Amino acid sequence: MPPLRYETFDQTSLFASLTPEERQEIAALAVEKSYEPGQSLFYEGDPCEGLYVIGSGTVKISKTSSSGREIMLMLESAPSSVAEVPLFDGGGYPATVTALRATVAFLVRKDDFRRFCTQHPEVPIKMLAVVGRRLRQLVGLIESVTFGSVRQRLARTLLESASPEAATPGQIPLTHEELALRLGTVREVVSRNLARFQAEGIVRIVKRQIVITDPAALRAEAETEF
């Protein structure tokens, strides 16, 4: 079995409670797919083809209103999974998933997944615990988008997005446009608020790279009462 395939399923949180043998078995069912930046894995409303497991790269999960306004629900970087809910409720994909960077994904087709669960009836219960945590994250996102100013929401998003693996501590691996999509606003509003944070010494922006310089002050902004 190709190393990336096994390593991806072994490290993805959705499968953390499965045995090594179960992870290897479900990984063997997957079909490898490659996507260029900007290419969609699937669109909101499409019939569910199966579960996508991100082996490399980063994707955004987004929804679009009838007026064409897009809001990014979250970013997912490898190793991770997307489109778990339709596997269980039988509906279509609830959001659009698009590659932000060159991405390799492994598709476990719906019928193969269901046969696998029939053979291992304890697997759905193990996986639903992870799906439940993802739904709680979405509830938190709805609260974040619904309440509070853009400044407050931007502060929370910066704190949540700071990469612990970045070469520079506190570095944010998101562009102004990606932050705007996540907050449901436009890039100009994000840039304006970031400029204010920089003037106050809370962040530093060098060559479009955002770095948190005063986490305590940023946390105070994020925790301000709605």
Q: Which residues pair with 75 in a beta bridge?
A: 60
Q: What is the pLDDT of residues 85-123, one digit of tens each?
A: 888 888 999 999 999 999 999 999 999 999 999 999 999
What is the band of 147 on the pLDDT scale with cuts at 50, 70, 90?
low
**What's CA 210's distance to the chain center, in Å?**
19
Confidence of residue 44 (pLDDT cuts 50, 70, 90): very high
Segment 117-139 shows an average pLDDT of: 83
Residue 49's CB is within 10 A of a number of other CB atoms, namely 17
Say how many residues make up the chain. 226
More confident site: 3 or 166: 3
Structure tokens at 210: 């955002």
Using alpha carbons only, what angle is made at residue 23 by residues 22 and 28, rounded to the nearest 5 degrees? 100
Give Dmax (Cα) for the chain. Answer: 59
Give exposure, 95-118, as e/b (b: 16+ Cβ within 10 Å): bbbbbbeebbbbbbebebbeebbe
Cα 101 from Cα 103, distance rounded (Å): 6
**For 4-16, how does the pLDDT look when each residue is reduced to its tens digit (9 = 90+)?**
999 999 999 999 9
pLDDT for the residue numbered 142: 64
The two tokens of residue 1 are 């079995």
**Alpha-carbon distance values, 117 to 55, 87, 134 (Å):** 22, 11, 20
> Residue 114: in which H helix or E strand, if any?
helix 110-119
Tell me how far CA of residue 100 lies from CA of 127, 139, 220, in angstroms.
Answer: 26, 24, 31
- What domains lie within the chain, and their CATH numbers? 3-145 (2.60.120.10), 149-222 (1.10.10.10)
Local structure of residue 183 (DSSP, 8 states): H
Q: Is the pLDDT at 226 greater than 50, yes or no?
A: no
**What's the whole-number average pLDDT of the chain?**
88
Structure tokens at 76: 């997912």
Q: Report whether pLDDT(67) > 60.
A: yes
What is the separation, in whole angstroms, between the first and last Cα of the chain? 51
Give the model's pLDDT for residue 148. Answer: 66
Angle of helix 150-161 relative to helix 215-222, nearest 10 degrees? 130
pTM over 0.85: no
